[in-house]
Amino acid sequence: MNHNEFFKALRDGQLLPVYLFAGEEEYVKDSALQQLEEAVIDPALREVNRSLLDASATAEEICSQCETIPFMGEKRLVIVQNSTFLTKSEGKSENEERLLAYLESPADFTILVFCCTAPDKRRKLFKALQKYSVDFSPLSSAELIRWIEKTLKVRGLSIEKNDALFLTEYTDPRPEALCTELEKLSCYVKEGQVKRDDILAAVTPSKEYNMFKMTDAIIERDASRALTLLSGMLMQKEEPIYILGAISRQYRQLLRVKLLQQEKAQRQEILTTLGIRDFVFTRLQRTCEKRSEKELKQAVDLCYEADAGLKTGRQLPCVALHRLILKLCTL
């Protein structure tokens, strides 16, 4: 099941005796653990009816915690973080059968949760846990927008979908980072609707946003705007080698998206292949439409040349960046 299905089942009181929380969206995963705990554990008995185990926990230790009868309550909650039974192909396997046997007949008074960012799908434990798996993959753009709308609504604020999308592009889009920015917005706006000008005034832009703005200017062949943005980043003490690396990475990603689209790759396949979030792909896709494969390959070559010149000391860093931007704008 996905995380939305998990939250619905939790609201409906439909709980499983075992879960595998797998995926990279740690903020949503932590929220799921918190809500699960609130649903099954009396806060006054939290210390005795909740057990947190780390990666080194043995099968015997896990099973022992699960088989301990809850104290003055109906349920125990046992949480195991990044168990080596799930993460290491060469990891320990002693008494793994003990754990697998428990999963065949789990205690009805315990909820056991394995949390793992990237489980090894070859492990026996993963295969046994598949029917209990909850997917916490990074939120899509649509999910992020809904989450932003819901979070602001709790604070008595609203936001247009286009402005919510802009917010995910303007700042760090991870929910844990967005929480801070939404708190700043709620203090700045106080009531009513959050506008784009409010975002620009109150929210901290990400480095990636500034890089996308500069790349967009280059793609539009607007050398003046691109160089102005570059000067701003240099004034903010950004290292030239970082800026060059970011430009190179942007063009490599653009080229890969272009090639994958030409091969008729589906959206999700591209996201997985490149290891990028949904909203990043949307921006790359928009930019790809403005450049041919030949132009993108030329741009990647120019970036490699600039990198070599910078690393060998043939060019001063700032001069190398200026020249690169001017060349890219002429493609």
Residue range 111-118: mean pLDDT, rounded:
90
* Model pLDDT, residue 298: 93
Q: Where are the domains of the chain?
A: 3-135, 141-202, 207-329
- Each residue of 120-146: pLDDT tens digit? 888 888 888 988 999 998 888 888 899
H/E/C letters for each residue in 282-299? HHHHHHHCCCCHHHHHHH
d(C-alpha 299, C-alpha 215), whole Å: 11
Distances 230 to 83, 224, 306 between C-alpha atoms, Å:
45, 10, 15
Give mean pLDDT, residues 316-327: 88
The tens digit of pLDDT for each residue in 199-241 reads 999 998 887 788 888 888 888 889 999 999 888 888 878 888 8
State whether CATH 1.10.20 applies to domain 141-202: no
The pLDDT of residue 327: 92
Residue 94 has a pLDDT of 59
pLDDT at 88: 67
Tell me: pLDDT of 198 over 90.
yes
**Statement: residue 91 has pLDDT above 70:** no
Cα–Cα distances (Å) from 168 to 137, 182, 191, 193, in that order, read 17, 11, 21, 17
**Angstrom distance (rounded) from CA 326 to CA 109:** 67
**Residue 310 to residues 104, 242, 246, 288: CA-CA distances in angstroms?**
60, 12, 14, 27
The reported pLDDT for the residue numbered 93 is 55
Q: Which CATH architecture has domain 3-135?
A: 3-Layer(aba) Sandwich (3.40)
Residue range 207-329, CATH number: 1.20.272.10
Listed range (80-84, 111-115, 251-255, 300-304) with the worst mean pLDDT: 80-84
- Tell me the per-residue pLDDT of 41-81, one tens digit each, with 9 for 90 and over: 888 888 888 989 988 888 888 899 999 888 888 889 999 99
Q: What is the 3-state secondary structure (H, E, C) of 84-119?
A: HHHHCCCCCCCCHHHHHHHHHCCCCCEEEEEEECCC
CB 83 within 8 A of CB 22: no
